[in-house]
Amino acid sequence: MSRWMVDLNSDLGESFGAYTLGRDEEVLRFVTSANIACGYHAGDHNVMGRTVKAAAEKGVGLGAHPGLPDLLGFGRRRMEVEPKDVYNMTLYQVGALAAFARACGKRLQHVKPHGALYNMACRDRRIASAIAEAVAAVDSGLILFGLAGSRLVEAGRAAGLTVAEEVFADRTYQPDGTLTPRTDPRAMVRDPEEAVRRVLRMVKERKVTAVDGTEISIRADTVCVHGDEPQALAFARRLREALQSEGVEIRRVGEWLGPS
């Protein structure tokens, strides 16, 4: 077994009706876990069914990707929601995707909140706890994906869940370990080779450099590769090749990550 092991995940199933987003079928060739939209920020019943089936056929871990009820804003706009709302909307969305998984003879592996809901949970323990408790209520065996070192990771462990600490291949970090907001021109890592170097360092050295030069300690159980970016397919392939060439074993997180 390799000294280093990591899961590669991508946000998929984000098309809606007649609108197609991302290159899901192709990205699925290179990732080990799929975060599948549940109809609130993106996706619909047909897209959910199609994406679950495609991921299951490729042996990719199935994950629910619940978001805020904001199709127009793609779930990236912050909303004032109470923890009770967050609990119920998470329960609703995870339950829906779990049903599609069962229809394919599979079960969910994990849950990863989307967009603004994810960012809110990383900072607000009440929101984080509502998500974690809803996930545990659906299935205490589910793995909760959360930003490395965040409130969401803490809440998941407090709820008795196995937690996968997540890092991002194409996003920059603030000195406190949070992601740089997308409104900031420094938010995205545009150079694929720079992104690969950053991921290798996060996986092997557990370090990342923030936008101000601060060195941050970080744990990388799973790496997010965004499937809706223009170069997603080429980057997913390049990242996988680079990790493997550096002796990093890439495996579905449910195969090796035990209880926290």
Q: What CATH number is attached to the domain comprising 130? A: 3.20.20.370
State the total domains in the chain: 1
Specify the pairing of strand 215-217 against strand 207-209.
antiparallel
Give the mean pLDDT of 17-36. Answer: 94
Query: What pLDDT score was predicted for residue 227?
Result: 65
Q: Which domain holds residue 218?
A: 4-255
Residue 156 inside a domain? The answer is yes
Give the mean pLDDT of 203-210. Answer: 97
Residue whose C-alpha is closest to residue 8's, from 29, 25, 22: 29
Residue 108 inside a domain? The answer is yes
Q: How many whole angstroms separate alpha carbon 174 and alpha carbon 139?
A: 33
Residue 187 has pLDDT above 90, yes or no: yes
Residue 260 inside a domain? The answer is no
Lowest mean pLDDT among 41-55, 85-99, 125-139, 179-193: 179-193
Residue 51 inside a domain? The answer is yes
Residue 167 inside a domain? The answer is yes
Q: How many whole angstroms separate alpha carbon 26 and alpha carbon 30?
A: 8
Q: Are the beta carbons of 34 and 62 closer than 8 angstroms?
A: yes
Q: Are the beta carbons of 74 and 42 closer than 8 angstroms?
A: yes
Q: Are the beta carbons of 33 and 7 closer than 8 angstroms?
A: yes
Give the mean pLDDT of 229-254. Answer: 89
Which residue is associated with the tokens 């967050």? 86
Query: What pLDDT score was predicted for residue 61?
Result: 98
Residue 226 inside a domain? The answer is yes
Residue 119 inside a domain? The answer is yes
Residue 260 has pLDDT above 90, yes or no: no
Query: What pLDDT score was predicted for residue 203?
Result: 97
Residue 58 inside a domain? The answer is yes
**Which amino acid, 18?**
A
Lowest mean pLDDT among 54-63, 162-171, 224-233, 248-257: 224-233
Specify the pairing of strand 33-37 against strand 61-65.
parallel
The whole-chain average pLDDT of the chain stands at: 95
